[in-house]
Chain A
Amino acid sequence: NAGVTQTPKFQVLKTGQSMTLQCAQDMNHEYMSWYRQDPGMGLRLIHYSVGAGITDQGEVPNGYNVSRSTTEDFPLRLLSAAPSQTSVYFCASSTIAGGGNEQFFGPGTRLTVL
């Protein structure tokens, strides 16, 4: 199993550009989430999904859209990039069965907005 994969690893955007960060998992996990981590800070939840077709907002959803058309994929779209969105973005997935909070994280996408 590849686990949780994220592409690209690095990205530089200009203000106003849009792009999609890709996240995929091959563990058949129902739960997927996106976090951002600013330098020297903790993780903040952007959006999450408890299954295909179901998404909900986290702590900092403004400026981001998500969709969950399949169990495997959970892309994060930046609508109009701003310098404040410069951050490292982590995708995570987990099974819901059995409860608890164990999530598997991807390697991250490092985004710089100029």
Chain B
Amino acid sequence: LAKTTQPISMDSYEGQEVNITCSHNNIATNDYITWYQQFPSQGPRFIIQGYKTKVTNEVASLFIPADRKSSTLSLPRVSLSDTAVYYCLVGDRNQGGKLIFGQGTELSVKP
């Protein structure tokens, strides 16, 4: 199973762009890279997912280099409400089905 490594914590200020990088050296060919956000006392919420290159949605962008051994979640112009834990996850439900979360990155956005 691919294992992910993320920074334990990050600090930012309102209005800044935040980039969180995840390492996944053993990613398999069919694995997707997925990011979740979790607020205290709530279940994780899907943010974005990609397989290669760049993916963008209304919330974030995901950058994946050609070797796919890492990925970067980019949050543009963060606000206080973006303070949360962000999890990187790699896997494919069609290939064995196990979706293992890493330890997550605790993002603190300050005014």
Closest Cβ neighbor of B50 among chain A residues: A100
Interface residues on A, range: 20 to 34
A48 in contact with B44 (CB, 8 Å)? no
Stretch touching chain B among A14-22, A64-72, A91-99: A91-99
Known A-B contacts A96-B93, A106-B43, A108-B42; the reply to A42 vs B101 at CB < 8 A is yes
* Smallest CB separation, B3 vs chain A (Å): 11
Given A96-B93, A105-B44, A108-B43, also A44-B32 (CB < 8 A)? no
**Chain B residues near A92 (CB, 8 Å)?**
43-44
A-B pairs, top 8 by smallest CB distance, nearest first, are: A105-B43, A101-B34, A43-B101, A100-B32, A102-B46, A42-B103, A90-B43, A42-B104
| 12 A-B contacts (beta carbon < 8 Å) | A31-B97, A33-B99, A42-B85, A42-B87, A42-B104, A92-B43, A99-B32, A101-B32, A103-B44, A105-B43, A105-B45, A108-B42
Footprint of A on B, CB under 8 Å? 30, 32, 34, 41-46, 49, 85, 87, 89-94, 97-104
